Amino acid sequence: MSNKTYNIAAIPGDGIGIEITEAATKVLNALALSVGRFDFAFTSFDWSSKTYNERGYYIPPGGIDKLKGYDAIYFGAVGWPDVPDHISLWGLMLPLRNSLCQYVNVRPTRILNGTSSPLSACKRGDLDWVIIRENSEGEYAGHGGETHTHFGSAVATDVSIYTQSGIERVMHFAFETARSRPKKKLTMVTKSNAQRHGMVLWDRIFHEIRKEYPDVDADTMLVDAMTVRMVLQPTSLDTIVATNLHGDILSDLAAALSGSIGTAPSSNLDPTRKNPSMFEPIHGSAPNIAGKGIANPVGAFWSAVEMVAWIGEKDASVRLMKAIENVTGRGVKTADIGGSASTNEVTEAVCAELEQLC
Ligand code: ATP
Ligand code: MG
């Protein structure tokens, strides 16, 4: 019987995005070889800040439609110092998430084998969270503008947009995620004391929907107090749901508390499965280390794990995660998590580990 082929659109983007996408592609091919039941066919899309500078756009006309035919999208990172960050984000990443209805961003965090938290009291197993970030509206709705001047001073607004349906769908996803995990615990984060419209709507919908999940231990936090709780009481948290901006900030903090931003994965999901979902490490293009061969590929590999699980190869995803943690556990690590290995050395070690795992 011939192998099943999964078609993956790869968008390496900029900086270390290119390096870690190459590494993830190698590891995914090694996984397929070691499992033997399926293959990956990668198509690379060169949509980057370099091509933006040459052509004036990131995504060519018809580009999004082309992606719709793939089983999943693997994304590296976008952004380079010669393009303002808000242009690159709105030129590539946000249109992809929005056009492909990827309304949930899932960001798991835990302390991996062989790595440690900067919090000395926090041991492996103490910090094990999933942050569910609303991925389609809120503070990233893109509305507003520099409208007029007031007493000679420029006035600009960024309008956050929250819709009942947008909040309900991410809230249901968060409760389902919490229910599927051993602790069955959900913390919802807002700033509803100061932001008295959209955040209050989040509160109201949370209290409505929690009635459907009596088995989930649910509570609410204000985002400022939440940063303190993440640092001082990490074991009191499990699944976390937050708005687009709050989820972005809290997941960078979560990644740092688990060891490094270089190890953290993310999944941009269309839970209806009408469109392909997109998988990417949470870090950016890191121009300061680009081209040096020292980027940590673990966040990229873990994102690949999430992708493999999402397309339906659960056992294979567990195998890949095991290979990654066996390698970090042996001390084959990049400098950001206390090792001295290069991106390539970690990649080769994970590929070799996949071959050996029974
Ligand atoms: P973005 O706006 O896309 O989130 P950012 O401005 O938050 O990007 P990053 O590129 O994510 O910045 O990284 C911040 C810093 O963290 C980098 O400059 C780099 O030093 C470090 N870093 C990020 N990713 C990695 C990685 N994979 N391996 C090692 N160090 C990393
Ligand atoms: Mg960032």
Q: Which two tokens stand for residue 139?
A: 């503070």
Q: Is the CB of 261 under 6 A from ligand 1?
A: yes
Tell me whether residue 67 is exposed, middle or buried, using C-beta atoms within 10 angstroms of its C-beta: 0 to 12, 13 to 18, 19 or more.
buried
Which residue is closest in CA terms to ligand 1's atom 21? Answer: 286
Q: Is the CB of 286 under 6 A from ligand 1?
A: yes
CA of 283 to the centre of ligand 2 (A): 6
Q: Given the CA of residue 16, which atom of ligand 1 is nearest to it?
A: 27
Q: Which two tokens stand for residue 249?
A: 């900030």
Q: Is the CB of 296 under 6 A from ligand 1?
A: yes
Q: Is the CB of 317 under 6 A from ligand 1?
A: no
The alpha carbon of 318 is separated from its chain's Cα centroid by a whole number of angstroms, namely 18
Q: Which two tokens stand for residue 225?
A: 């107090």
Which residue is closest in CA terms to ligand 1's atom 7? Answer: 284
Q: Which two tokens stand for residue 206?
A: 């949370």
Q: Is the pTM of this model over 0.80?
A: yes
Nearest Cα residue to 224 out of 242, 236, 212:
242
Distance (Å, whole) CA 79 – CA 287: 8
- Within 13 Å, how many C-alpha atoms sit on residue 66's CB side? 13
Phi/psi of residue 252, nearest 5 degrees: -65, -40
- Within 13 Å, how many C-alpha atoms sit on residue 326's CB side? 17
Nearest Cα residue to 207 out of 226, 224, 192, 195:
192
Q: Which two tokens stand for residue 77?
A: 């990172």
- C-alpha distances in angstroms, 33 versus 3, 38, 73, 346? 11, 8, 20, 18
- C-alpha distances in angstroms, 5 versus 8, 40, 333, 343? 9, 6, 31, 27
Q: Is the CB of 210 under 6 A from ligand 1?
A: no
Write the DSSP symbol of residue 188: E
Distance (Å, whole) CA 237 – CA 233: 8
Nearest Cα residue to 332 out of 319, 322, 317, 342:
342
CA of 289 to the centre of ligand 1 (A): 9
Does the model's ipTM exceed the 0.90 cut? yes
The series of mean pLDDT values per 10 residues for the chain, 358 residues long, is: 92 98 98 97 97 96 96 97 94 94 97 94 93 96 93 96 98 98 98 94 98 98 98 96 97 95 97 98 97 98 98 98 98 97 98 94
CA of 252 to the centre of ligand 2 (A): 7
Which residue is closest in CA terms to ligand 1's atom 5? Answer: 284
Contact 191, 224 (CB under 8 A): yes
Distance (Å, whole) CA 224 – CA 189: 9
